[in-house]
Structure 1
Amino acid sequence: MALSASLIFMMEAVGNQAVMPAAFFYGAAAGPVALLVAIHDRTGIGDSVPGITLVGMFLFGGGVALLLGGYFDSLLITDKGGPSILRVGWIEEAAKFVPLLAVALTGQHLTKSAGVALGLSCATGFAIMESMSYAWKSINHDSAVGAGMVLFVRGLTTPFSHLAWTGLVCAVAFGVWQTMGRVVLTSAVTGTFAVAAILHSLNDGLLTLDVPGPVRLFFPVVAAVSYWLFHRATRDLTSAALPDPTPSRT
């Protein structure tokens, strides 16, 4: 975040706008990547999937999710700032799950630890690109400093929103699929998806709907509940539970 702020202030001071994409990227990535590192330190899930697969899910899974989410948001959100904003959670959580479901249907990485790692990678790619788009939109109406504030706020909130929601769904879905050995729709999977979508919609509604000031105070409550549910769903994932990827020497 400090690097992002430094680039923005340098850009404002000398007018060098060539650094704008870098400033926006660092600002958008700081919070989600920090949470990824913390989760890996706790669970070791990054070792459950090849690095190239995680990078692919970050770049292309997140991009596909943004493509689908952006299209259906434009199609189904008919009144910006109105009640239809409550559809966003259902749209975007489904969009983020499409690339993950595509991988699961191949039968590869069908374990809970791998599913959470892939889900967090996809959600991180989605969150970073979405935050950058908000920053670009903001700079059309404000200075680069205003866009930096947008990135700062989203950097603090997206780890406890997009990452927590997708991670929760993947923890339950891939946990079920690991046990059953195949992709199957169960009440636990659909119920968890509904919870994530409702939390997502509540989050967006509290930010955009014309609600009384005290009601907006529930925004951090939604974030706290979202992360608590994710943490509870992944508390059985520990580094010790993962197989040692280093081959033994004989």
Structure 2
Amino acid sequence: MKRLWVRIFVTGFVLWAATVLVTAWTGNSNLVPTVVLFGSFLVPVTFVVWAYGRGRSPRVTVELLFMAFVVGGVLGVLGASLLESWLLRPSLLMYVAVGLIEEGVKLAALMFVTRRMERRSTMDGVILGATVGFGFAAFESAGYAFNALFTADGLSLGQLVETEVLRGILAPVGHGLWTAVLGGALFAAGGRLTNRVVLAYLGVSALHALWDSMSAIAIAVTLVLTGRPWQFEALRIGRVPHVTAWQVHVYTLLNWAGLIVISLVALGWLWSTVRTGRRDREILSQ
């Protein structure tokens, strides 16, 4: 089992890259689903195996991990799709609503797949929460990759691959991380929805909302800092203004800086949750 996650990632990456090359060379569209599935699931599965190896627990079985990843992930995306289609309307609060909905359905999915656990620890919650979150991310990424395939000029393998690479790079600091924090809080409370769990839910939902809205925030800040009078005039009459090369650089810097800060906050929160869980376990074992 040692370094199993490395072997899984390397093997999966080689197979994915080979599939992309063969698809591009032959133009065989029958291989597209393989590209979508390998590219969408490789990083989430790798991180689930890594987390399982780091926090091995007799209560977290391979069967339970599979249930959390597949059943929890599918229930999460289905619940999010239904609620967002019913409740979301274009507004300034749309990103907040998305964060509340998606973190809420992942929490509900985690509670469902772990409902029969009699004993649980904070670390169990972190691992299983991350597994549900990565399952959600994998199925969601598959949908984004599939949509990226279709363009006005026909099927675009390049856009599909670009989408999978970007989402794969960002996957470790997205859904899996947020639900790991929430799972740790839930299991620390014995699986009950206490005030601390509700606060953790609101906190990760806020991080989620900031993450999704970072591009819009970066655009707004860029305009405030570098906007020209003619650009504001174009906005006033409902037109999209042309942007300068310097503004593109400022926007990119602000966008990525914001994502990094959000990721560091979430990682710090997770580290604190894991440390608290380990301390509590040591106290109980004495």
TM-score, length basis structure 2: 0.73
Answer yes or no: is 1:61 the counterpart of 2:72.
Answer: yes
Does the Cα contact within 8 Å between 1:48 and 1:113 map onto a contact in 2? no
CA gap 1:57/1:103 in 2 versus in 1, 3 angstroms: closer
Q: Distance in 2 between matches of 1:59 and 1:204?
A: 24
Q: Distance in 1 between matches of 2:156 and 2:21?
A: 11
Q: Distance in 2 between matches of 1:29 and 1:103?
A: 20
* Deviation string, structure 1 residues 104-142 (Cα, Å, up to 9, x no partner): 544535332332232222112111000010000111126
Corresponding residue number in structure 2 for 1:114: 124
Partner letter of residue 141 of structure 2? Answer: S
Answer yes or no: is 1:135 the counterpart of 2:175.
Answer: no
Does the Cα contact within 8 Å between 1:123 and 1:166 map onto a contact in 2? yes
SS at match of 2:193: coil
Partner letter of residue 208 of structure 2? Answer: H
Q: Distance in 2 between matches of 1:165 and 1:146?
A: 27
Q: Distance in 2 between matches of 1:83 and 1:140?
A: 29
Corresponding residue number in structure 1 for 2:86: 75
Partner letter of residue 105 of structure 2? Answer: A
- Alpha-carbon RMSD: 2.4
Answer yes or no: is 1:189 the counterpart of 2:178.
Answer: no
- Which of these two proteins has the greater Rg computed from alpha carbons? 2
Deviation at 1:60, TM superposition (A): 1.1
Deviation at 1:168, TM superposition (A): 0.2
SS at match of 1:224: helix
Answer yes or no: is 1:218 the counterpart of 2:231.
Answer: no
CA gap 1:107/1:55 in 2 versus in 1, 3 angstroms: closer
Q: Distance in 1 between matches of 2:66 and 2:144?
A: 23
Answer yes or no: is 1:39 the counterpart of 2:39.
Answer: no
2:41 is aligned, of 20, 29, 34, to: 29
Corresponding residue number in structure 1 for 2:213: 205
CA gap 1:215/1:76 in 2 versus in 1, 3 angstroms: farther
Answer yes or no: is 1:84 the counterpart of 2:94.
Answer: yes
* Deviation string, structure 1 residues 37-93 (Cα, Å, up to 9, x no partner): 332333224x4322112212211111111100111122223229x641331111000
Corresponding residue number in structure 1 for 2:164: 151
Q: Distance in 1 between matches of 2:33 and 2:163?
A: 14
Corresponding residue number in structure 1 for 2:176: 163
Q: Distance in 1 between matches of 2:63 and 2:254?
A: 43
Corresponding residue number in structure 1 for 2:189: 176
* Deviation string, structure 1 residues 191-227 (Cα, Å, up to 9, x no partner): 1111100000100111456533153131122122212
SS at match of 2:134: helix
* Deviation string, structure 1 residues 166-188 (Cα, Å, up to 9, x no partner): 000111110121xxxxx433221
Q: Distance in 2 between matches of 1:235 and 1:38?
A: 18
Q: Percent identity?
A: 24
Does the Cα contact within 8 Å between 1:29 and 1:128 map onto a contact in 2? yes
TM-score, length basis structure 1: 0.83
**Unaligned 5+ residue runs, structure 1?**
178-182, 243-250
Q: Distance in 1 between matches of 2:276 and 2:199?
A: 20
Partner letter of residue 162 of structure 1? Answer: H
Q: Distance in 2 between matches of 1:218 and 1:107?
A: 38
Corresponding residue number in structure 2 for 1:245: none
CA gap 1:87/1:44 in 2 versus in 1, 3 angstroms: same
SS at match of 1:234: helix
Corresponding residue number in structure 2 for 1:229: 269
